Amino acid sequence: MRLTKARKACVTAMMKDTICEAVSSLVEQHGASGLTMDGLARKAGMATGTLYNYFRDKEDVLHFFHLRLVEPYHRAIESITTAVLPAPQKLRQVFHAVLEQAVKYREIRKLVVEMDYYSELRKTSGPRLLQMLTTIFEQGVREGSFRPHDPSHTGRIVRGALRELFDLQLSGASDKEVNRFAGTLIKTLLAGISVRGGSGVKSNKVSKKSSSR
């Protein structure tokens, strides 16, 4: 019985992986309006009835898909947090990772917001992001690149600013405007807390390839 359950769980995971890949492909090709259960089933190479064995409706699909996006995003930031790099460089890389995700999954994020999942995801992912940001600021104080301050307070400020970045992007702002916002934010932040006043700080830009999507 245990083996049967294990096999079933493995098949379910594989099917959901296939469905998630189809969601990403559909939205990238046709935008939010191109995502329907029938179209998703065709893209995933299965009958519509089979799709309903794994998800109740489109909202359920999107909720699961966005959760799947959040975890790799957090893992990417965690890998930056634990890397052997100076704290200012880690912060620039965090902003770069956020910008890349904002551009790549713009349409999916819009759909998630429309279906009221965004506030739920903020509640679940917010504390984790705050802890990672706080860790970077604590490192900066220890290594002497940041002035002494309360890292948890600065982490909350940056977490709020990152949310504003996503909100700006979701409001219809161009990638150029979002990049400009991020650049101003990281320069202002590092100028305020860096021992050397943040001189020489450069913002990471979203690649031309990503911006053209």
Q: What is the pLDDT of residue 198?
A: 42
Total count of domains within the chain: 2
**Which residues lie below 8 Å from residue 127, measured CB to CB, with a gap of 6+?**
none
Expressed as residue numbers, the domain containing 51 is 1-55
pTM above 0.75, yes or no: no
Q: What is the pLDDT of residue 109?
A: 67
151 and 186 share one domain: yes
CATH label of the domain that carries residue 40 = 1.10.10.60
43 and 73 share one domain: no
113 and 50 share one domain: no
150 and 169 share one domain: yes
18 and 119 share one domain: no
**């959901």: which residue's tokens?**
16
Residue 206: pLDDT band (50, 70, 90) is: very low
> How far, in whole angstroms, is CA 128 from its chain's centroid?
13
Q: What is the pLDDT of residues 22-31, one digit of tens each?
A: 887 887 777 6
Calpha distance 86→97 (Å, rounded): 17
